[in-house]
């Protein structure tokens, strides 16, 4: 197995590559600007915004253009069946809603880890173990929610804020989640050090298995999503290979 120094260096390098793939508008200040609410926390980088002007939700692309013109960010492509949503009374959440919620929860976890890194103090391994367990629980909950909407109309599955998102938009949402997770893994490696690395790696492996299950359901649920996201998965796969997350690597390489 590679040394801890090698593990951390490779993971950190891959994470920087992933986040640097999302260009940021240099003319805008950090945080909310006008009616634009950023999606993606400190660990994930800004990948896209949601424009909430006039109580409507529209995605604003802030990443590099897709090579396939059909995957370019578009305006809303369809209208959600309001009656269908009313029948469920909010008991089910669309895939897009689940992804936004998961990213928000993971950003809270990421903030805890970043604070520990910035403090530059010794951290008990049990603290890190507990934080990794939070990630596992968040992803496990997402698996349950996404499985619950299998078989439902695609207009509902891809809806967010009363509108249906394009595949490119959903791709950005999922990339944001993967980016935060990679940032969390990198912080964990930095905090625990070589002495406790063997304690943490089995936990990250468990997170990898659950994330793999979530991705399997998502890629099966939304035709074309894997094809759209695959060109951007290189840095994620690098980190997973370093951490020996073999099950997750297989899914990221299309074996789902």
Average pLDDT, the chain: 75
Nearest to residue 142, comparing CAs of 104, 186, 98, 174?
98
For 88-101, the DSSP string reads HTTSS--HHHHHHH
Confidence of residue 119 (pLDDT cuts 50, 70, 90): confident
Confidence of residue 137 (pLDDT cuts 50, 70, 90): very high
**Domain ranges, ordered by start, for the chain:** 4-252
* Other CB atoms within 10 Å distance of the CB of residue 12: 19
Q: Check residues 14 and 228 and name the one with the higher pLDDT.
A: 228
SS3 assignment, position 12: helix
Nearest to residue 241, comparing CAs of 232, 252, 231, 230?
252
HSE at residue 189, side-chain half, CA atoms within 13 A, is 25
**Does residue 40 carry a pLDDT above 50?**
no
Please state the pTM of the whole predicted model: 0.68
Output the six-digit token pair for 41.
Answer: 């926390």
pLDDT of residue 180: 96
**Does residue 60 carry a pLDDT above 80?**
no
**Does residue 233 carry a pLDDT above 80?**
yes
Spatial distance between the Cα atoms of 223 and 165, rounded to a whole number of angstroms: 14
List the single range of 2-6, 117-121, 174-178 with lowest mean pLDDT: 2-6
């Amino acid at each position: 197995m590679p040394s801890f120094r090698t593990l951390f260096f490779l993971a950190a390098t891959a994470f920087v590559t992933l986040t640097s793939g999302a260009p940021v508008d240099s003319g805008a200040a950090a945080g909310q600007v006008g009616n634009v609410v950023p999606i993606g926390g400190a660990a994930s980088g800004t990948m896209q915004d949601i424009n909430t002007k006039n109580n409507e939700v529209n995605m604003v692309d802030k990443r590099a253009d897709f090579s396939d013109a059909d995957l370019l960010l578009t305006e809303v492509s369809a209208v959600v069946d309001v009656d269908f949503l009313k029948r469920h009374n909010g008991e089910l959440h669309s895939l897009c809603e689940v992804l936004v919620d998961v990213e928000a929860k993971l950003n809270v976890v990421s903030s805890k880890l970043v604070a520990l890194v910035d403090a530059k103090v010794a951290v008990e391994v049990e603290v890190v173990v507990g934080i990794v367990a939070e990630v596992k629980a968040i992803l496990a909950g997402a698996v349950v929610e996404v499985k619950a909407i299998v078989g439902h109309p695609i207009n509902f599955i891809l809806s967010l804020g009363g509108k249906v998102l394009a595949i490119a938009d959903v791709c950005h949402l999922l990339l944001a989640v993967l980016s935060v997770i990679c940032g969390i893994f990198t912080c964990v490696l930095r905090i625990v050090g070589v002495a406790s690395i063997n304690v943490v790696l089995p936990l990250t492996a468990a997170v990898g298995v659950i994330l793999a299950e979530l991705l399997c359901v998502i890629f099966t649920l939304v035709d074309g999503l894997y094809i759209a996201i695959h060109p951007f998965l290189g840095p994620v796969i690098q980190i997973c290979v370093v951490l020996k997350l073999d099950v997750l690597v297989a899914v990221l390489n299309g074996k789902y």
